[in-house]
Each structure stands twice: as C-alpha cells, then as structure tokens.
Amino acid sequence: MSDERLVFAPVRRLAALVRERKVSPVALAETFLERLERLGPRYNAVVTITRERALAQARRAERELADGHYRGPLHGIPYGAKDLLATSGDIPTTWGAAIFRDRRLGFDATAIRRLEQAGAVLCAKLAMVELAGGMGYRQPNASFTGPGVNPWNRDAWSGGSSSGSGSAVAAGLVPFAIGSETWGSILSPAGNCGITGLRPTYGRVSRHGAMALCWTLDKLGPLALTADDCGLVLEAIAGHDPADPTSVDRPFHHEPAAAGRRFRFGVLAGITDGCEPAVRENFEGSLEVLRTMGTVETVTLPDLPYDDITRTILGAEAASAFEDLIESGAIRGLTAPEDRYLPYARDAILAKDYVKALRLRAVMAREADRVLAPLDALVAPGRIAEAPRLDAEVRSAVRGTARDVMGAVGNGAGLPAVAVPNGFGPRGLPTSLQFMGRAWEEGRVLAAAAAYQARTDWHERHPDDVTVGSA
C-alpha cells in the first residue's frame, strides 16, 4: 500500500491492516509522526508531538498483536488529542494559552486513558483556540501556536476551537483526533477542513481531565475521515466515569450502517437564511441525495430565543470557570487582544438571567425532542459560510455576531450531531452537512451520515497541499 493510501485510509481499513499484520503499529506511528513533524508547523496544527509515548504504545501494541491479544479496531492506530485533555508524564497541557505553555498536569484524562486501553497510540497534542474560544475571540489568531491554517487553502482558518484536530485529520497527520465542543468547536473545524466530526450527546463521554469551559455544555468527541470511524472512536471513549458525575451509564456499540436502510429527515424552515450561496447550493444538492435515502420534510420549532438561552449559559459558566484568570488579570497573557478584556463584561450577567436560561433550556430540550422524535435526524448546513480568511473577523453565535439555531439547540439541549463534507465553495474550501438527532441517538445520526457518505465521495477528497506527491 502506498504512503498516500495509508495516511488517508479510514481507521477501519487501517485496523484491518494492523490486525492482519500487514502494517506494523510501529511503522504506522513512525509514518504519522514524520508527517506531524514535517507538516504540522505548516498548519499550526500541533502543540506537542508525543514521540516517546507514541513509540512505547506502538511497541506494546506490536507485542500484544504478536501474542494474539487484539484489543479492537483502535489497537495500534495513531491519533491526536486536543490540547485541553490532561496527559501524564512530561507532556504539557496548554489549553492553547501562552500562560499555560509549560504546564504539566501529571495525569491522563479519562478519554485519553480509555483510548490507551483500546490500544490507540497518542502521537500529538493538537492546537486549539486559547481556552477553547470561551473568552470571546474575534479572529483566527487566538492561540499561542498561531492561527489554525486550513490545508485546503492556507489563507483560510481551520478552526475553531478544535483547529488542530480538524487540520491534522484533513492533512493526513493522524487518522483521527479528539476534539471538544461547547458550541461549534467540533462541527466547525470538521466542516472547515472537509472531514467528519461527531459531537456526542452531553454526558456520553467523560469530561474528567478536560478543561472546563462550561460544565453543562462541554462535550468530547472524535474527528475522523468518515462517520464510521467516528463511531469506532466513540465506542472506545463512551461510558460512565465516576470522576464525571454527569457521564451516563448507557451502552454505545457502533455498528456499520446497514445497506438499504430508509431514513426520515427534517429541515427547519428557513435554515439556509443567511448562508452563502455556495453553502445553500451544496445543501440543496445534499437534500437531493438524502431523498434517495428516504424522506425529507420541513419542520418548525416554536419561537424561542434559542441563541440567547445557550449564549447566556455559556457566558455565565465560562465567567465562573475562569474566575481566577479573569479577576487576577492573567487573561492579559492571552494571544487575541479581545480575549484580554471582553471576559470582564460577563460580570454583568445576573444570576436570575442565568437561571432563566436554564429553565428555558428545559423547554428547548422538550421542544427539540418533540420535533426530533418522529425523525432520524434534522439536517442543515454545517456552517453558513466557507472558512474565513486568516485576517478576517470570525462571525460567531457565541458572541452574537451570527445566528446558529442548530448549534444553540443542539448544544443547549446536549444533542448529538455529525458533520460531513458536502461540496466546495468558490475559494476551494469545503462546505458541510450536519445531521442532528435525539439524545443518545448517535447510532442513528452516524448511520445516516454513513449512508450519505456511501452515496458521495466528498470525504474521499484530500487537499492537494498534502497529497504525498506535493507534500
């Protein structure tokens, strides 16, 4: 198998090669470590390459496989983790912030530990927007590692906030990555980078050892080349963890999508209002594909201030989570100028407003479930536009400079969603399609996304910038 086919092979394919001992975990780790070292700086994708740990894990996987001990489809598979997940040993955990660039936390987050138990090989801690974007940044240059650069167009952004997780998978630097989403931070980089990203149901994956931005909104999830791969990774990291009391004991077992399954999709009325023309056209094209898989109907949600609900919760919880950094003035050490002063505004959120948002969240969750109950998924454009230029302002629903009803409802109600590539815009950048489902229905949204990917080839296209001949 050529290097190019290897680095852009889905996890399921790599797993078969490893299990059949056609590819050694050590060789696989070396391949991706070399790409991380050579190409990672081009995209500001990497904070720390964990070469020593990766090779130790790869050698162990090789020994275990030789002994006939197979841990499962992630055994011997390299990956990268957003640098808000704690890691043991001498590996820093920076949260993307210059003020934490040398900090060692000395333990593994539960997600990291579960991936180790599954036999996966940690090759890198990946770049991210500082403090996961929770301070109100307006621009791509909001991390001490520099702005996340998009492999499809180096003048464009890869974020945010799991910017390195998005660009590293798109550039073939790792087969999969772990990201986090409070509001948009998995679906956005997945969409901007033309890969697949899964935001699990809130509580599906333990947050223990992950930076807290908002305790009731934060979720961890995979970014990979395919929906099927995201399911494989989710199965490894899902499950109750006593260290995270919000994690839930609901089994998740990933099954590849059954061929010929029919789906029922909903589209919120007016969901493409405000989208760029190319995004709208690609979404219409996607709907044509979805109609070959089942039915598509227009649905409505009641008129509620969805963005305001989720934004108020996010602002209040982030203000408390980073109280020490804000009140001490340590935020002056952040990269984006606006991150150094905008957090002060959140002292103006009243407790009553926060509680009202929490009460309305319950209404929102019930209404979303009512609409979703007869459907397999709500579908919508993943993003309203192509990725912004590196020197452009980032429009954000978190700050109120863009509307994002799907994101507000999905994150506010803790619902799973998967974003898949569905075309390109005029600047050569990917656009995306999202599938959002009822709570705990990751299997359904992944099946729908996988069925879409079985009928399209957007996920099989890779940036010219990183194909082996040109990279």
Partner 1 sequence: MSDLQAEVEARFALVRERYGDRLAPEELEAVRTAVEGLVQAARALRAVRLDNASEPGQPFAAYRANP
Q: Active-site residues: which are they?
A: 82, 161, 185
CB 423 within 8 A of CB 471: no
Instruction: Give the type of residue at 55.
Output: L
Stretch in the footprint of partner 1 (CB under 8 A) among 222-230, 275-283, 347-355, 423-431? 347-355
Contact 448, 435 (CB under 8 A): yes
To the nearest whole angstrom, how small is the minimum distance from the Cβ of residue 98 to partner 1? 18
Q: Tell me whether residue 36 or residue 360 sits nearer to partner 1 (CB atom).
A: 360
Query: What secondary structure does DSSP assign to 159-175, as a single string?
Result: -SSSHHHHHHHHTTS-S
DSSP state of 115: H
Q: Nearer to partner 1 by C-beta: 63 or 332?
A: 332
DSSP 344-387: GGGGG--HHHHHHHHHHHHHHHHHHHHHHTT-SEEEEES-SSSP
> Is the bond leading into 382 cis (omega within 30 degrees of zero)?
no
Q: How many residues bind partner 1 (CB under 8 A)?
A: 37
Residue 345 interacts with partner 1 (CB under 8 A)? yes
Report the alpha-carbon distance of residue 322 to residue 331 in Å, rounded.
9
Whose Cβ is closer to partner 1: residue 256's or residue 305's?
305
Note whether 373 binds partner 1 by CB under 8 A.
no
At residue 443, what are phi and psi to the nearest 5 degrees? -60, -40
Minimal distance, residue 156 CB to partner 1, in Å? 26
Residues 134-163 that bind partner 1 (CB under 8 A): 136
**Residue 213 · residue 251 · CB < 8 Å:** no
Residues 92-131, one symbol each (x = binds partner 1 by CB under 8 A, - = not), give ----------------------------------------
Nearer of residues 151 and 343 to partner 1, judged by Cβ: 343
H-helix or E-strand spanning residue 223: strand 219-224
Tell me if 370 contacts partner 1 by CB under 8 A: no
Member of 19, 399, 403, 427 binding partner 1 (CB under 8 A) = 399
365 touches partner 1 by CB under 8 A: yes
Strand partners, 109: none
Query: Cα 34–36–42 angle (5° rounding)?
Result: 120
Least distance from partner 1 to the Cβ atom of residue 407, Å: 15
Q: Is 243 in the site for partner 1 (CB under 8 A)?
A: no
Q: Whose CA is closest to 132, among 100, 90, 88?
A: 100
Bridge partners, residue 49, by sequence: 124
Smallest separation, CB 216 to partner 1 (Å): 6
Q: How far is CA 183 from CA 50, 71, 163, 213, 217, in A?
A: 28, 33, 14, 10, 8
For partner 1, give the closer residue by CB, 27 or 362.
Answer: 362
- 320 near partner 1, rule: CB under 8 A: no
Binder among 39, 58, 205, 357 for partner 1 (CB under 8 A): 357
State which of residues 360, 405, 429, 471 lies at the interface with partner 1 (CB under 8 A).
360
Nearest residue (CB) to partner 1, 27 versus 243: 243
| Residue 63 touching partner 1 (CB under 8 A) | no
Contact by Cβ (8 Å): 299, 266: yes
Residue 356 interacts with partner 1 (CB under 8 A): yes or no: yes
Say if residues 103 and 94 touch (Cβ distance below 8 Å). yes
Whole-angstrom CA distances from 134 to 322, 342, 390, 391 are 9, 10, 19, 20
CA–CA dist 469, 471 (Å, integer): 6
Q: Which stretch binds partner 1 (CB under 8 A): 116-124, 227-235, 306-314, 374-382?
A: 306-314
Residue in 89, 270, 305, 374 binding partner 1, rule: CB under 8 A: 305
Residues 408-447 that bind partner 1 (CB under 8 A): none
Q: Distance between alpha carbon 295 and the CA centroid of its chain, in Å?
A: 28
Position among 315, 382, 410, 425 found at the interface with partner 1 (CB under 8 A) = 315
Chain contacts with partner 1 (rule: CB under 8 A) = 136, 216, 245, 304-305, 307-309, 311-312, 315, 329, 338, 340-342, 344-350, 353, 355-365, 399-400
